[in-house]
Amino acid sequence: MVKEISSIHNPTIKQLVTLQEKAKERRKTGEFLIEGIREVNLAIQAGFELTRIIFCEKIICSEDLKALQVQLNQNVEQIAVTEEVYKKIAYRSGTEGLIACARSKSNSLSDLQLPDNPLILVAEAPEKPGNIGALLRTADAAGVDAFILANPKTDLYNPNIIRSSVGGVFTVNIATGTTQEVIDFLIEHNINRYTAILQEAVSYETQNFTKPTALVVGTEADGLSELWREQTTQNIIIPMQGSLDSMNVSVAAAILVFEARRQRGFN
């Protein structure tokens, strides 16, 4: 059965808008919104549970909608909305007329499953959702075994993270924790910690990343906290050839993780 809603003042629509806009609502309900056919399909493939889909028949391709509906179980509520209602809920323009509501997953460190020789990307306290999204795209491209957020400043299901990661939030193995929790986890699992810090650092390409490795990056403004300096395996630096002393965090992360991948023979 498909429910039809044509008013932006409908209580369900108001609740969906709040879910889109408010991290507090996402935490309270344990749900979040996903926009776009590709992103929704990636979420399904990653095992996220959908609770409802919202679609606008004037926008969505009917074949795409039918292909999605085949994958849904009977408990997923289906809501057809007008173009006006869809635009009220949508976070960005240009999506294909589809929004899904999904249950968030646990991102606890204790739930993280790793292979024997993991390659992990760690980011401490990135504030901009766009940077987190770019880091997730880098993590996906490099095929890292996990992406860990230490001291996250925003929730993972912020709509801008989902948008800027192009669905990478669903394709990457993700965990979060405080900085000390992350450090303790890495030490407990005998994972070497290579921290991107300017002081007392050696050039990154001199290090051996073929053993269990965590590459740790901080914010462009503040770098990494003192806890990392005190409990690192080795501080590393990307030699800069220009006049500036920093680069975008996702670019720095990409340089480091792909060097690790090169050393591992891209296996």
Tens of pLDDT, residues 28-45: 999 999 999 999 999 999
* Mean predicted lDDT score pLDDT of the chain: 95
Is the model more confident about 8 or about 73?
8
Residue 267 clears pLDDT 90, i.e. is over it: no
pTM: 0.94
How far is it, in rounded angstroms, from Cα 168 to Cα 211? 25
Arithmetic mean of pLDDT, 57-77:
94
Tens of pLDDT, residues 174-231: 999 999 999 999 999 999 999 999 888 999 999 999 999 999 999 877 889 999 999 9
* DSSP labels, 38-96: HHHHHHHHTTPPEEEEEE-TTTS-HHHHHHHHHH--TTSEEEEE-HHHHHHH-SSTT--
HSE-up (13 A, CA, CB side) for residue 218: 19
Residue 65 clears pLDDT 80, i.e. is over it: yes
Residue 93 clears pLDDT 80, i.e. is over it: no
In the structure, what pLDDT confidence band is assigned to residue 80 with cuts at 50, 70 and 90?
A: very high
Q: What is the pLDDT of residue 117?
A: 98
Tens of pLDDT, residues 226-246: 999 999 999 999 998 888 777
Return the closest-CA partner of residue 102 out of 31, 203, 27, 151: 31
Q: What is the pLDDT of residue 266?
A: 87
Q: What is the pLDDT of residue 150?
A: 97
Residue 21 clears pLDDT 90, i.e. is over it: yes
Q: What is the pLDDT of residue 222?
A: 83
